[in-house]
Amino acid sequence: MIKFGFSYSEELTFKDVENLYREGLTCVEVNARTPQAFIEFAKKISFEITFHVTFLKGFNPSFPTESIRKSAVSEIFKELDYARSIGATNITLHGGYITWFDFIDPKLAEFDSYVKIAENERRLHLDALRKSVKEILSGNGDLTISIENLYFPFELMNNPYELKRFVYTVDNLFVTLDFGHAKISKFKIFDYVSLVSSRITKLHLHTNDGIYDLHRPIEANIDDDFKDSLIVINNLKNDVIGIIELHRDFSAISKSFKNIKNLLGGGAV
């Protein structure tokens, strides 16, 4: 069963937040940069606080060089301590990216050799990430920690098969399934659902043009497998938080939530 919420946006007033709660949204996702006043107001209304570890600072917990990897893990621990201090227990983090960005045209004669370099880098980074995640989990057993699917070729967890292989080799690691990222990855959203459904603990709900991560609102006539995936997840035994992740104004969030309820059969949430 999914309980729905939204991500913090600078465009939201406190009155907007109150109205979103009245409409049935019960969770809000914040990060270390979210104003404290917003967090305190949301908690006062009785929103459940969820947390997204900052990735714009350049944290890369998958970096193979041990000193750099440990530094990233140390910074993540600080953010988790902060999350705990504001009452957040459901945490999302990004797995990082490989240090090889030269993805050449497959038609070129050098393509195969370049792929081998990238694949080797990917293995090194996945090994480092596994080590980092285990350290993070061992020190934060009171938190539910999930890793998010991404989409760029240099990012880790950019396809459902890698995501499955990774999360099922780490005990107590969960998945934040980002519907918009799945669409850009050229796989179907349902490919992810079918492979990692038992580990899904949070959703990031938004859509796009299949090319850019635009975080567009959810429309009534959405034309991919968004609806079918949402219905399956809503029927899972595990509890899932569905964050409408738009970073937009009240009307966009409210309209998206209404459309989500209709996709689920007229408010069956």
Q: Residue 102 belongs to a domain with what CATH number? A: 3.20.20.150
3 state SS of 7: strand
Range of the domain at 252: 2-263
Res 172: pLDDT: 97
Considering its fold, how many domains does the chain have in total?
1
Does 92 fall in a domain? Answer: yes
- Could you tell me if residue 154 is inside a domain? yes
**Is 152 contained in some domain?**
yes
Per-residue model confidence (pLDDT) at position 266? 65
- Decide if 197 is inside a domain: yes
Task: Tell me if 247 is assigned to some domain.
Answer: yes
Does 268 map to a domain? no
Does residue 269 form part of some domain?
no
Q: Provide the greatest CA pair distance for the chain.
A: 61
Helices assigned H by DSSP within 96-217: 111-138, 160-167, 179-184, 189-196
pTM: 0.95
Taking CA atoms, 183 is separated from 98, 122, 151, 164, 255, in Å, by 21, 22, 9, 17, 21
- Chunked in runs of 10, what are the mean pLDDT values of the chain (269 residues)? 98 98 99 98 98 86 97 96 98 93 87 89 97 96 97 96 98 98 95 98 97 96 90 95 98 98 73
The answer to whether residue 217 is domain-embedded is: yes
